[in-house]
Structure 1
């Protein structure tokens, strides 16, 4: 398949390229045990099941710490799904937690896991079927990753799966930029290029749609990622959004 030179492909990572929910949940649980001494070392199987269910509303990795705590305290998954932001804000306030510290703890736990058990960490971060082959079809100069994950973790997972990417083409948590802003920057630096953005979170795509300067960005909703049936129904009704059921590059 020949890819047009005037196209740029920007992909989200977790939920589009990598099925990281198990690793994210385990990391969140272990960091939570550092903060709350009443939690057992091993994550109960039911809490992992509930975490995967809630994963579609989670935006940034450190929130896994708080989700695990709330599930341990007995909050019903459906209630957390429908009232996520308020519940997260409430536990941050109640326990006087600092998001910068939580992000640091989350990243440090992952760094230690990678250092001590890299192969085990990689196994908990599998690529979605077909996505590796898809990424290898895209020329290096045209491939970008836009994610809320820290960039070094993205690079480690891609390298372990023999996928090359230019390091500066990974826009992660380290940049402290929202995805619409990153797309705007790419648009300005590639003025003659069509940008195609593949994302599994409907709210992120809607943020792009609400940004007038991004009206020419092609939007694709990855249905295999962390989203709900309700998200899919809304995406299908939106004329700006193309839905993808399997990893592929629309014409």
Structure 2
């Protein structure tokens, strides 16, 4: 029996937190220039450091831009436009982001699609002007590039990252070419719907299906769909999740928590 692996990108294959944090700071400075008057390099470095800690809450890239502003409001009370930031800390963001996000979006008068476009534009401009630096701000997890190159399984990428950025990193950083029709990025629909599409393809009949994620919430969404009962589900113990989430996943029978070395062996 052959195998098909549907792989999340950020947090499973690639540690993109450095790049996404820097891009988010650039985007926030464009979107809210008045808030960044007087913000020096030391403050920007502090924000980037904090972004590594809150990264587990991010489902779609534009949320990084919101987090940059929220962190700035937490640090500088004079610019606060939402009471949410008062008394908030990293743990509070990790525990309550799904409630915080709609509140600050409304308070700041922000639009999801506009932020997605801005975040993508900032990344495109960075890539156009200095591709090497953009690439270097990312890294693939140890062993992942070789695992992809020599995989005997059918490989698909299922991510909320815009496809062009995932493709560029696979080619330029990992040295891997995955056909564009096998990369399902932002705009291709919810991941549960992508998995349904994949399992219905005639060429996938008889394959054992595997879905690898670093977000527990996404795996829980799959479990809610009886149509997807045939998928083996994995939560990686690296990437952007917390020890609390890994402990919870370990007690869910459908989910296997895996090590990086196990993941590479599975693909090979």
After superposition, the CA RMSD in angstroms is 1.5
**1:206 alignment counterpart:** 220
User: 1-side partners of 2:221 and 2:40: how far apart?
Assistant: 38
How many angstroms does 1:41 deviate by? Answer: 6.7
User: 1-side partners of 2:162 and 2:175: how far apart?
Assistant: 19
2:35 to 34, 38, 45: 38
User: 1-side partners of 2:159 and 2:265: how far apart?
Assistant: 19
Q: TM-score, normalised to structure 2's length?
A: 0.87
User: 2-side partners of 1:34 and 1:191: how far apart?
Assistant: 48
How many angstroms does 1:128 deviate by? Answer: 0.6
**1:29 alignment counterpart:** 25
**1:72 alignment counterpart:** 72
User: 1-side partners of 2:238 and 2:124: how far apart?
Assistant: 28
Q: Does 1:142 align with 2:138?
A: no
1:233 to 236, 247, 250: 247
**1:248 alignment counterpart:** 264
Does the Cα contact within 8 Å between 1:33 and 1:41 map onto a contact in 2? Answer: no
1:184 to 180, 188, 196: 196
The alignment partner of 1:108 has SS state of: helix
- Alpha-carbon displacement from aligned partner over 1:183-223 (angstroms, at most 9, x marks no partner): 01101112322111111111111111111111110111111
User: 1-side partners of 2:98 and 2:213: how far apart?
Assistant: 20
**1:53 alignment counterpart:** 53
The alignment partner of 1:248 has SS state of: helix
Q: TM-score, normalised to structure 1's length?
A: 0.93
- Alpha-carbon displacement from aligned partner over 1:42-66 (angstroms, at most 9, x marks no partner): 4622222211111111100000000
**1:93 alignment counterpart:** 106
User: 1-side partners of 2:127 and 2:240: how far apart?
Assistant: 24
**2:130 alignment counterpart:** 117
Higher mean displacement: 15-24 or 75-84: 75-84
User: 2-side partners of 1:114 and 1:241: how far apart?
Assistant: 37
More helix per residue: 1 or 2?
Answer: 2
The alignment partner of 1:113 has SS state of: helix
How many angstroms does 1:90 deviate by? Answer: 1.2
* Structure 1, gaps ≥5 residues long: none
Does the Cα contact within 8 Å between 1:61 and 1:106 map onto a contact in 2? Answer: yes
Higher mean displacement: 54-63 or 240-249: 240-249
**1:162 alignment counterpart:** 175
